[in-house]
Amino acid sequence: MRDNALVEYELVILREQNGQLAYEAHPSGQSPAVFMSKEITGSTAVFENPAHDFPQRVGYRRDGPDSLLAWVEGTANGQARRIEFPYRRTDCE
């Protein structure tokens, strides 16, 4: 949101595909991409699509009861990149 207007969005669908978890991303203004599960534990989920331009990996890690770290990473223009998105529970009141 910017100035009370929707600027961009991303719809994510998690589904089973061939015995794996598939992360299907539908970002606004772009074609959808599917990333297949590479690592799933009690606190981490990492999905990968080596053929995608950027990112090639999408991950989430629970960092305690009230926080979550999300990230995208891979190679863009021959350079390794990682962008992190830290989330923390907040009161909605």
Contacts of 6 (CB under 8 A, 6+ apart): none
pTM of the predicted protein model: 0.90
- For the segment 8-42, what is each residue's pLDDT rounded down to a tens digit? 999 999 999 999 999 999 999 999 999 999 999 99
Can you read off the two tokens belonging to residue 76? Answer: 């863009």
Could you report the per-residue pLDDT of 31-86, keeping only the tens digit for each?
A: 999 999 999 999 999 999 999 999 999 999 999 999 999 999 999 999 999 999 99
Q: Where are the beta strands (DSSP E) in the chain?
A: 10-17, 20-27, 33-40, 44-48, 57-62, 67-76, 79-88
* Inter-residue contact 36 to 28 (CB < 8 Å): no
> What's the pLDDT score for residue 66?
96
Q: In whole angstroms, what is the distance from residue 63 CA to residue 35 CA?
A: 23
Average pLDDT, the chain: 96
Place of tokens 């606190």: 43
Q: Which pLDDT does position 80 carry in this prediction?
A: 98
- pLDDT of 92 reads 87
